[in-house]
Amino acid sequence: PGASGGIAWFDSVGVAHAVKMPVTDRDILNVLQPLARGTCSSAALEKVSASQGRNPDGSMRIQGVASAFKFGMGYGGLRMALTACEIPFDDVMPKKWQAEFGLLRLSKAETITEKKNRHKAKAQQLFPLLTITHAIADALLIAEWLRRRELGKASDD
């Protein structure tokens, strides 16, 4: 749900769509409202910590107060927009959906860029008709994880 992420969904005939995370709360609502009127049965939000992450060398980094606050605001805004649109949602831990696609961190030496490139490559494999960017790759994979779970095809259930 961060500003550098995206929103992805499947339409009523199963076609995947994705957009870069909208900038404003109103823009987020404008993306979600039509989905609520359609066949969006549920949503999944990646449950991540706003205060921790990894540096390119794999070491832990702690975000500053301002960036953690901004992340939290975006996450809360997205939760509120889903609630306002009456779209049921659940939080999913990154390890859960990443395991579905064999995308858990390979080693402590793997950089963030290398990991993001693996995620992008997997999204390109699963969605060959879409132009995949780093911004939407994880959103598409989470949407696919949820779709498989709802269809009873997830390997981690």
CATH number assigned to the domain comprising residue 55: 3.30.420.10
Evaluate whether 25 touches 19 at the Cβ level (below 8 Å). no
Non-local (6+) Cβ contacts of 149 within 8 A are 157
Q: Is residue 106 part of a domain?
A: yes
- pTM attached to this predicted model: 0.81
Instruction: State the total domains in the chain.
Output: 1
The stretches of the chain forming alpha helices (DSSP H) are 25-37, 65-84, 94-100, 112-126, 134-151
Q: Is residue 1 part of a domain?
A: no
Q: Is residue 15 part of a domain?
A: yes
Tens-binned pLDDT, residue by residue, of the chain (157 aa):
567 889 999 988 889 999 999 888 899 999 998 888 876 667 888 876 554 555 444 444 556 777 777 777 778 888 898 988 888 888 899 999 999 999 998 898 999 999 999 999 999 999 999 999 999 999 999 999 999 998 886 665 4
Q: Is residue 156 part of a domain?
A: no
* Integer CA distances (angstroms), 109 to 18, 54, 62, 106, in order: 30, 11, 19, 8
pLDDT at 157: 47
Q: How many helices (H) and strands (E) does the chain have?
A: 5, 6
Q: Is residue 157 part of a domain?
A: no
- Which structural domain range is residue 70 located in? 6-151
